[in-house]
A = this chain, B = another copy of it.
Amino acid sequence: MEDLLTLALNLMGTFAFGLSGAILAVRKQMDLFGVLVLSVATGLGGGIMRDIILGHTPPATLTDWRYLAAAGLAGLLVFVWYRGVIHHGRFIIAFDAVGLSIFTVTGTTIAISAGLNPAPAVLLGMLTGVGGGVLRDVLGAEVPLIFRSEIYAVASILGAVIIILASQTGLSGIPAETIAAIATFGLRMISVRKGWRIPLAMPKPDSTC
């Protein structure tokens, strides 16, 4: 039952990330193939990076066909029904936040199991959560969106830190993971609604660059 829930949430997250990749591809005027590639890269990218760094090869998302199917389906949906999909922006942000939460939690948990120390485990959990989106933006030749002052990766870090603190105090398993996922999801959604931003280093940087 618990595994089924984790699988369902993971597939939902993969699907949501796949949507975001496909939407960028359409905006960049890519063809059907480009849309599918970007939806798959965005949906599976974070997990693949995590597994490669930990040496868990071949990556888990490549040995279970359902992840590839979920991301590909998202790409197809956006290709045939772009105007419909972007009118549900609120839903997409929520789906994406679900993916961010789940991937952060599973990434951090797997990193701890692999013997990483707390700080690198947080880093790897965050990479699992945001990696697909970074790959999406690099392939689309854009400065990654996560660098643009929204509360996004910070929400991922919050979840990862909660997992670490729980494991350090002997707690773990479903209760800690649920709290961490809800914290990530909640911070992300509230910050979008309230328009919270992270401070910039300097308002008017050196104009020669």
Q: How far is A147 from B205 in the complex, measured between Cα atoms in Å?
A: 25
User: Looking at chain A, what size class is its interface with the partner chain?
Assistant: 35 or more
**What number of copies of this chain does the assembly contain?**
3
A90 at interface (Cβ–Cβ under 8 A)? Answer: no
Q: A54-B57, A58-B116, A69-B119 are in contact. Are A140 and B139 (CB under 8 A)?
A: no
CB distance A198 to B31 under 8 Å? yes
Residue-wise, chain A 40-61 has the 8 Å CB interface mask toward B (1 for contact) of 1000000010001111011100
Q: A63-B117, A138-B139 are in contact. Are A123 and B68 (CB under 8 A)?
A: yes
A149-163 interface (Cβ within 8 A of B): 149, 153-154
Q: A30-B147, A34-B147, A206-B27 are in contact. Are A115 and B65 (CB under 8 A)?
A: no
A174 at interface (Cβ–Cβ under 8 A)? Answer: no
A201 at interface (Cβ–Cβ under 8 A)? Answer: yes
Q: How far is A141 from B134 in the complex, measured between Cα atoms in Å?
A: 11
A110-132 interface (Cβ within 8 A of B): 114-120, 123-124
Q: How far is A183 from B63 in the complex, measured between Cα atoms in Å?
A: 27
Q: A33-B154, A54-B58 are in contact. Are A65 and B117 (CB under 8 A)?
A: yes
Q: A37-B153, A147-B31 are in contact. Are A124 and B201 (CB under 8 A)?
A: no
Chain B residues with CB below 8 A from A32, complex form: 198-199, 201
CB distance B55 to A146 under 8 Å? no
Chain B residues with CB below 8 A from A154, complex form: 33
Knowing that A32-B201, A62-B123 touch, tell me 9 more A-B residue pairs with CB under 8 angstroms. A25-B201, A31-B149, A31-B198, A31-B200, A31-B201, A62-B116, A68-B120, A82-B202, A139-B144
